[in-house]
Amino acid sequence: MPSELLQPTIDEIRWATATRKVSVSAGDFDDWEKVLRDPRNSPLAVMQVERQQRNDCQGNATANGEEYRSWVVSGRRTMPVLSEMYAYNASEYLMGPQNVGRDSGTSMHAGVRLLTEGIPRLQVQPGVAAESRWPYSQYFRSASQFEAAARRVEIVPSHVTEHGPLPSFEGMLAAVAAGGTGHIGTFWSVRWSSLNGRRLMDTLPTSGGGHATEIIWAEHVQGRWYLCVWNSHGDGFYYMSQRCYEQLLSRRGEPFGCFVLMPDRAQERYYNRLENGGGYFA
């Protein structure tokens, strides 16, 4: 199954260092455990299950994270369906127009740039096109074809304005409760365990090519918190243990890169919801 993920270029690493601003801690969001324990808040039953057909895992992760953030910001009314292929093609373009159509994968950084900066060269705003406007079958093989289509398509505006390094485990739990996601790249020779009838990544893989996934939620199972990581292999999500996440932290997400992406006005939106007993308000 295609899963290719590229390591960032030196320029992308420099960009990420120069532009990171978000710093998340568990103390930023009171009662995050209560939010996560309420099944009405979980996106897991309403996210679209995907099976990638190209080396577009990073495009899938980018679109999946933005779907969840948009759902939270809208007050959990309608889960949008965003275009993984737009996110992939656009990420190729951001890594260099010569990369469009190669289907050799993209970097985690390219997806973050797409959400936070858009495509300045084409004057395309940050965000992702809707799946209905850019279907999965629409994969452009040349930069000129992509440019023409990207200039025409309507973009669903991104709710990410800033990015930062992954927080502590509790910080990540609080982040997903507030509509944030973890945009993570890992090796993919995984020695799976099982939990609750699903696959569990309990030990961080250290070989086997790269794969991009998105931390979008967390569940309390058998007395412990586990992160729910949305995948693009037809399985919905897998669990990640605290031990595995902390191994990822100790490696600083290397060699692929990992980011926390928060909705704009995250604390304001979060406390509006708590005070009003409902969803987030735009």
pLDDT tens readout for residues 178-189: 999 999 999 999
Cis peptide before 205 (omega within 30 of 0): no
Residue burial 160-175, b: 16+ Cβ < 10 Å; e: rest:
bbbbbbbbebbbbbbb
Length in residues, the chain? 282
**Predicted confidence pLDDT, tens digits, the chain (282 residues):** 566 899 999 999 999 999 999 899 999 999 999 999 999 999 999 999 999 999 999 999 999 999 999 999 988 888 999 999 999 999 999 999 999 999 999 999 999 999 999 999 999 999 999 999 999 999 999 999 999 999 999 999 999 988 999 999 999 999 999 999 999 999 999 999 999 999 999 999 999 999 999 999 999 999 999 999 999 999 999 999 999 999 999 999 999 999 999 999 999 989 987 776 555 433
Which tokens belong to 273? Answer: 């919801």
Angle 169-177/242-250 helices, nearest 10 degrees? 110
Q: Are 260 and 167 a contacting pair, CB within 8 Å?
A: yes
Q: Are 4 and 209 a contacting pair, CB within 8 Å?
A: yes
Distance CA 254, CA 163 (A): 17
Give CA angle at 20 (219, 173), nearest 5°.
10
What is the dihedral sign for C-alpha 124, 156, 265, 95? negative
Q: Phi and psi dihedrals of 88, rounded to 5?
A: -75, -55
Residue carrying structure tokens 């609750």: 196
Which tokens belong to 25? Answer: 């801690």
Closest CA to 23 of 240, 185, 261: 261
What pTM, to 2 d.p., does this model score? Answer: 0.96
Instruction: Quote the distance between the C-alpha of residue 91 and its chain's center.
Output: 13
